[in-house]
Amino acid sequence: MPTAFVLINTEIGSEADVLKELKKVEGVDEAFAVYGVYDIIARVRAPTMDKLKEIVTWKIRRLDKVRSTLTMIVVEEQSK
């Protein structure tokens, strides 16, 4: 299953609001507020690569108060 980690920068002071909305997006498995260059990190999974791109482009990047994103697509998942 295609997986990506999305690093998100938000407008100052809106991290909690964006995180709350992000967790409602279909395909977002996990999302956390973090310290550092980025404000939020999210793990996104989808049945196809096209669906994954759609979630990032049309749902996550278009959330209100999201300033920028950096998407890292997982090349190979580690088996448990």
Residue 80: per-residue pLDDT: 66
pTM here is 0.91
* CATH number of this structure's domain 3-73: 3.30.70.920
pLDDT tens digit sequence for 17-60: 999 999 999 999 999 999 999 999 999 999 999 999 999 999 99
Ordered by start, the domain boundaries in the chain are: 3-73
Residue 72: per-residue pLDDT: 98
Closest CA to 72 of 1, 2, 3, 4: 4
Average pLDDT, the chain: 95
Residue 78: per-residue pLDDT: 74
Euclidean distance between CA atoms 37 and 35, whole angstroms: 7
